[in-house]
């Protein structure tokens, strides 16, 4: 590996060491999570802090505002989020529960935006956080309405997870199990026939997730729009049309 590649690889590992469970780290923790010698991690922290890509928080470090600024300025998800926000606001005003926008990448369901209300049902989603793909309404709708080759490639890449336990989340319900590959095919076929996905009590026992696809002007599924509501709330058939109307509006805004 060349020196330049090695430097880039180290930078990527340092930035990836921070996640929803580890928003800040001591330098020693950062070194361990990034697989670096502690002395090397200290040098990197100082270099990145001088560029405002990291910032100190007492004896810990965390991603700096300049890193957020650079990502926000160039990320393709920015235009999607901007187009979606008025419609997320409309759905939120009606339901007064959690409304979420998410996309699918190689690592799973990435949440771009979440609107919530005081007293809303429990919800494990966080902005820029990830959710399980096979056992959430957002994940199921993203798979069901994506191009078949992409779905096949995704399932091959995550084959080891199918039929196995879902990683627990804080405050989660009873341990969930991913569907087998045959069960997943049946689930996705049902989602396509219904036009939406609905999952009850898989992440939080008292919650119901409902999601629909968001398509761009070319008809490609670019995101999923979903809500998390109390499981005893109005049936899916009453909520799905509201989401579909909002999703069509987002698609028109994307042009």
How would residue 168 be classed by pLDDT, with cut points 50, 70 and 90? low
Instruction: Tell whether the model's pLDDT for residue 88 goes beyond 80.
Output: yes
- Domains by residue range for the chain, with CATH: 3-71 (1.10.10.10), 75-254 (3.30.450.40)
130-131 and 98-105 strand pairing? unpaired
Minimum mean pLDDT among 39-43, 95-99, 216-220, 233-237: which range?
A: 233-237
Q: Is 161 helix (H, G, I), strand (E, B) or coil?
A: helix
Is the pLDDT assigned to residue 170 strictly greater than 90? no
4 pLDDT band, cuts 50/70/90, is: very low
Q: Look at residue 175 in the predicted model and tell me its pLDDT.
A: 66
**pLDDT tier at 19, thresholds 50, 70, 90:** confident
Give the angle subtended at the CA of 22 by the CAs of 17 and 24, to the nearest 5°: 90
**pLDDT above 70 as % of the chain:** 91
Instruction: Judge whether 92 and 99 are in contact, CB under 8 Å.
Output: yes
pTM over 0.85: no
Q: 197 pLDDT exceeds 90? A: yes
CA angle 193, 249, 236 (to 5 degrees): 40
Residue 179 has pLDDT above 90, yes or no: yes
pLDDT at 234: 66
Q: How far apart are CA 251 and CA 255, in angstroms?
A: 7
- Contact between 212 and 195 (Cβ < 8 Å): yes
DSSP 3-state of 9: helix
């Amino acid at each position: 590996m060349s020196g330049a590649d090695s430097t880039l690889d180290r930078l990527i590992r340092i930035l990836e060491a921070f996640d929803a469970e580890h928003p800040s780290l001591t330098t020693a923790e950062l070194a361990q999570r990034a697989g670096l010698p502690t002395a090397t991690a200290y040098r990197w922290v100082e270099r990145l802090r001088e560029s405002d890509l990291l910032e100190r928080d007492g004896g810990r470090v965390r991603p700096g505002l300049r890193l957020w600024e650079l990502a926000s300025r160039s990320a393709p998800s920015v235009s999607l989020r901007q187009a979606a926000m008025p419609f997320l606001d409309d759905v939120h005003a009606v339901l007064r529960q959690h409304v979420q926008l998410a996309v699918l990448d190689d690592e799973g369901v990435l949440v771009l935006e979440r609107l919530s209300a005081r007293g809303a049902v429990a919800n494990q989603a966080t902005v820029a956080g990830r959710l399980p793909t096979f056992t959430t309404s957002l994940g199921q709708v993203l798979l069901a309405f994506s191009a078949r080759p992409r779905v096949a490639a995704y399932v091959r890449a995550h084959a080891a997870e199918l039929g196995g336990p879902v990683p627990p989340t804080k405050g989660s319900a009873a341990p969930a199990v991913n569907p087998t590959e045959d069960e997943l095919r049946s689930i996705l076929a049902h989602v396509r026939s219904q036009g939406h996905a609905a999952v009850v009590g898989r992440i939080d026992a008292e919650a119901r997730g409902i999601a629909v696809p968001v398509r761009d002007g070319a008809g490609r599924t670019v995101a999923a729009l979903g809500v998390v509501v109390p499981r005893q709330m109005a049936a899916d058939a009453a909520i799905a049309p509201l989401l579909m109307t909002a999703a069509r509006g987002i698609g028109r805004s994307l042009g």
